[in-house]
Amino acid sequence: MPEPTVPPTPPVPLASLLAREDLALRQIAGPRDPGLAVHWAHTSEMADPYPYLLGGELLLTAGVHIPEAAEREAGAPGPGMPGPGDYFDAYVSRIVAAGGAALGFGLAPVHDTVPRALVAACEAHGLPLLEVPPQTTFSGVARAVWQLMAQARHAELRRVAEAQQSLAAAASRPDPVPSVLRQLARRVGGQAVLYGPEGARIAAAGTEPGGEVGPALAALARVVRPGSRPAPASATDTTGGTHLAAYALGAGRGFVLGVAAPRREPGDHTVASVAAVLLSLLTGEHRSGSEAARSSALVRLLLGAAPESVAPLLGGERWQVVHGRPEGRDPDAVAASALGAALGSPLVDLGDGVVRVLVPGGREPLAQPGWTLGVGGAAAPADWPAADTRAGRALARARATRVPLVRHGARPALADLVPPDEAAAHARTLLAPLGETLAGTLRTWLSLHGSWDRTAVALGVHRNTVRQRIARCAALLGTDLDDPDVRMELWFALRQP
């Protein structure tokens, strides 16, 4: 029989329910372990509640399902009828098999007392049996469970929030790694260990566990350390009553956070995950000089170095500019970082409602769920501004045509036959009457084959505004924009940097 799955809700100690004077519940059978807990309350009058239980419930019943033969606890059962013990034994065993935490039996309106055979069955199967007095409704018991659960959730969230603040403060200290480990060990009441890429203990804080716990934690760290096989991001285990957890730090760096604690409280995983994120940032520089190289590149650019001399520090000579915008909302810093990670680049910029990512030229950007992307094509450092412009135009076209990704065309065109200087001079002369706004509107309108609605979507304006601007362009240029030859010449001019 499969192991029942306990719901992911804060457990409510059964003792807390029994302590509620307004409920007046009384335990009359089963273990009285103070560690027993329930995850929710469920009412059922089914003779076999197994299919309707998920595990961890306080099952409430008024005994409506009990057959008459089972109610006759004195004397022999009738011909062909099962004895009372047989029915209750099967009933309780199914609750236990489903993972039920406890059984509550209501004394009203069907029964005046709890059947003795039910008490015996719960005692035999180790299922706590509660007597629910007539004045206590099942809905009142369920409400009490939810109230205690809400209190537990609030306490858990408060504990996690306080731990997050203390961990963040520790990360800002002059000795951030040891400080974070000390704070984490204090919060979980155990030990926190940082393992290096080769498995050696770099730092540790908290109470040193005895016995086989230390070697077991080191072995668990090897499970999540990147290697020739795919490794999970985290893993848990228990050794000698001590709860163990290991968390991989960063993407492929090899650092691992190990945690050993005598007990596992709600929220411990969240607290340890926050510490793992902070340690990932703090240990990033120890693995490679990529962050230092990017910082050096930024400093050199600020000091006036040419992009060509900075590009090698970024890991390549040719890069692609990708513009992205999430669907239905403006991007934030978290979304920007997520897009950079998905495209495989830490070079991310967020501004003006658009995320810009520099992607190595040899890597092909792919469409990402929930994003609209425009790719400017691979370019040398001197052409990065032009690639940025092309990526912006590609994004506008992608949004207007409602496709997830548009790449700027890289194949040779007729315009390439004209020397760039001459083409740029011709474009400046031809488009001189137009300002930047009108030129941008005309470019978008031509790229979308004269569609008023799509151009309005791409520019974020009303379609009547597009019509007015295009009419103004035609008047200033003194030409017929319905003429395909005119459109072609204007398009060539508008494509010039």
Tell me the pLDDT tens digit for each residue of 448-460: 888 898 898 888 8
Q: CA-to-CA distance for 86 and 70, rounded, in angstroms?
A: 8
Residue 44 has pLDDT above 90, yes or no: yes
Q: Domain containing 109 — which CATH number?
A: 3.40.1390.20
Residue 70 has pLDDT above 80, yes or no: no
At residue 10, φ and ψ (nearest 5 deg) are: -60, 130
CA 496 from chain centre, in angstroms, equals 43
Q: What pTM does this model have?
A: 0.45
Could you tell me if 396 and 454 lie in one domain?
A: no
Low-confidence winner among 79-83, 358-362, 395-399, 428-432 (lowest mean pLDDT): 79-83
Q: Which residues of 225-259 are buried (b: 16+ CB within 10 A; e: fewer)?
A: beeeeebeebbeeebeebbbbbbbbbeebbbbbbb
Check residue 82 and give its pLDDT.
Answer: 46
Kindly report the number of other CB atoms within 10 A of residue 204's CB atom: 18
Residue 37 lies in a domain: yes
Average pLDDT (438-446) is: 90
Residue 389 lies in a domain: yes
Could you tell me if 401 and 346 lie in one domain?
A: yes
Could you tell me if 65 and 181 lie in one domain?
A: no
Could you tell me if 19 and 121 lie in one domain?
A: yes
Mapped onto helix, strand or coil, the DSSP state of residue 107 is coil
Residue 298 lies in a domain: no
The strand pairing partners of 350, in sequence order, are 355
Residue 385 has pLDDT above 50, yes or no: yes
Domain boundary among 394, 410, 426: 410
Average pLDDT (473-477) is: 91
Instruction: Report the range out of 196-210, 269-283, 431-445 with the highest average pLDDT.
Output: 431-445
C-alpha dist (Å) from residue 146 to 34, 39, 255, 374: 19, 9, 41, 49
Check residue 302 and give its pLDDT.
Answer: 67
Q: In this structure, what token pair is assigned to residue 37?
A: 């807990």
CB 115 within 8 A of CB 83: no
CB 319 within 8 A of CB 311: yes
Residue 233 lies in a domain: yes
Residue 307 has pLDDT above 80, yes or no: no
Check residue 69 and give its pLDDT.
Answer: 67
- The fraction of the chain above a pLDDT of 70, given in percent, is 86
The strand pairing partners of 406, in sequence order, are 374
Residue 297 lies in a domain: no
Place of tokens 């009412």: 43
CA 217 from chain centre, in angstroms, equals 26
Low-confidence winner among 231-245, 262-276, 285-299 (lowest mean pLDDT): 285-299
Check residue 363 and give its pLDDT.
Answer: 78
Residue 43 has pLDDT above 60, yes or no: yes
Could you tell me if 279 and 321 lie in one domain?
A: no
Average pLDDT (232-253) is: 84
Check residue 164 and give its pLDDT.
Answer: 85
Does residue 338 or residue 470 have the better pLDDT? Answer: 470
- Give the pLDDT band of residue 35 (cuts 50, 70, 90): confident
Q: Beta strand pairing status for 255-261 and 242-249?
A: antiparallel
Classify the C-alpha dihedral 375-376-381-385 as positive or negative: negative
Residue 310 lies in a domain: no
Average pLDDT (256-278) is: 87
Check residue 483 and give its pLDDT.
Answer: 86
- The fraction of the chain above a pLDDT of 90, given in percent, is 31
CB 255 within 8 A of CB 265: no
Domain count of the chain? 4
Low-confidence winner among 105-119, 327-341, 349-363, 478-492 (lowest mean pLDDT): 327-341
Check residue 251 and give its pLDDT.
Answer: 57
Residue 203 has pLDDT above 70, yes or no: yes
Could you tell me if 208 and 321 lie in one domain?
A: no
Residue 342 has pLDDT above 80, yes or no: no
Could you tell me if 403 and 425 lie in one domain?
A: no
Could you tell me if 182 and 209 lie in one domain?
A: yes
Full DSSP string of 206-224: EPPP-TTHHHHHHHHHHHH
- Give the pLDDT band of residue 277 (cuts 50, 70, 90): confident
Could you tell me if 179 and 140 lie in one domain?
A: no
Average pLDDT (83-109) is: 89
Q: Which one, of 83, 82, 132, 80, lies nearest residue 103 by Cα?
A: 132
Mean pLDDT, rounded, of the chain: 83
Q: In this structure, what token pair is assigned to residue 258?
A: 């190990």
The strand pairing partners of 243, in sequence order, are 238, 261
Residue 301 lies in a domain: no
Average pLDDT (194-217) is: 86
Low-confidence winner among 38-52, 122-136, 399-413, 438-452 (lowest mean pLDDT): 399-413
Average pLDDT (11-40) is: 92
Could you tell me if 406 and 425 lie in one domain?
A: no
Check residue 420 and give its pLDDT.
Answer: 67
Check residue 79 and give its pLDDT.
Answer: 42
> Is the backbone peptide bond immediately before 404 cis, with ω within 30 degrees of 0?
no
Residue 99 lies in a domain: yes
Could you tell me if 139 and 32 lie in one domain?
A: yes
Average pLDDT (113-124) is: 94
Check residue 74 and give its pLDDT.
Answer: 37
Place of tokens 């302590």: 19
Check residue 76 and give its pLDDT.
Answer: 40
Domain boundary among 237, 267, 287: 287
Domain boundary among 375, 410, 445: 410
Residue 258 has pLDDT above 80, yes or no: yes
Q: CA-to-CA distance for 411 and 413, rounded, in angstroms?
A: 6
Could you tell me if 227 and 203 lie in one domain?
A: yes
Express each pLDDT in 162-173 by its tens digit.
888 888 888 877
Check residue 137 and give its pLDDT.
Answer: 94
Could you tell me the residue range of the domain that residue 431 belongs to? 415-494
The strand pairing partners of 357, in sequence order, are 322, 348
Q: Which one, of 405, 402, 374, lies nearest residue 388 by Cα?
A: 374
Residue 329 has pLDDT above 90, yes or no: no
